[in-house]
Amino acid sequence: MVTENIAGSLEPTSIVATRMVITAHPDDAEFTVAGTVARWVREGYSVIYVICTDGSRGSNEPHMTPERMAPIRHAEQLEAARILGVQTVVFLDHEDGTLQPTLELRRDLTRLVRRYKPDIVICSDPTRYFHRDMYVNHPDHRAAGEAALYAVFPSAVTRFIFPELLAEGLEPHKVGEIYLYGSPEPNTWVDITDTIDLKIAALKAHRSQVDPEYADIRIREWNGLVGRQYGVPYAEEFRRIILR
Ligand SMILES: [Zn+2]
């Protein structure tokens, strides 16, 4: 099921350029790219979030259930989006924890790319299995990243991949750039010094997932480390792939 929650119109805007962020879980964007998102919103871009899973497995509390967790995660994601100024949040509601880069998921993402026509798509780098010796990347992140990447290219731009989308009136769309987050090989960075407070506030909206103090300390630490590499207080970095 696709549910869309929009602070305004249901139709994609044709006046300003649109940028799309595709993630596996509610809170992924806030941990990783929300400083860039807030900056783009300030610069006048329309930003759309696409969340592939329902976030229903986001608790190990014995008294919690996936059925109760999913609407909590939805509400938290919508609150985070409101704080950042993200106009549209699309929940694809695949089962959290077992996401696969299926053709069905790729087609759903292709449909959204053709419909909203983003000039840039942000997604997770699907090649990342580990971070140093302290983090195993969640397989949902890799699955969402792979499906998103192949939705952008070749699916969105190739007329006769998913011909059923043509029947829905969705013509091919060429995305100009992909920004991969969590990449082992970043080649671009965005100064988020002016928007890190918004990023932290948005992350804190995920009350079921993050301790507010942890959110503040960790984000400043992580993005401060990245920023120092580039001579600014805070930055986010990406592997940027130019398709134009
Ligand atoms: Zn995640």
Residues surrounding ion ligand 1 at CB below 5 Å:
25, 28
CA of 171 to the centre of ligand 1 (A): 31
CATH of the domain at 40: 3.40.50.10320
**Percentage above 90 pLDDT, the chain:** 87
CA of 142 to the centre of ligand 1 (A): 10
Q: What is the pLDDT of residue 15?
A: 62
CA of 16 to the centre of ligand 1 (A): 29
CA of 59 to the centre of ligand 1 (A): 12
Q: Which domain holds residue 25?
A: 3-242
Q: What is the pLDDT of residues 13-32, one digit of tens each?
A: 456 799 999 999 999 999 99
60, containing H or E segment: none
CA of 124 to the centre of ligand 1 (A): 10
Strands (E), the chain: 3-6, 18-23, 46-53, 88-94, 120-124, 130-131, 135-136, 177-181, 188-191, 235-242
Q: Rounded mean pLDDT of the chain?
A: 93
Q: How many residues does the chain have?
A: 244
* Domain count within the chain: 1
pLDDT band at 46 (very low <50, low <70, confident <90, very high): very high
CA of 197 to the centre of ligand 1 (A): 21
SS3 label, residue 81: helix
Tokens 């509400």, residue located: 75
Residue 9, pLDDT > 50, answer no
Residue 93, pLDDT > 50, answer yes
CA of 165 to the centre of ligand 1 (A): 29
Q: What is the pLDDT of residue 110?
A: 98
CA of 168 to the centre of ligand 1 (A): 31
Question: pTM of this prediction?
Answer: 0.92
CA of 220 to the centre of ligand 1 (A): 19
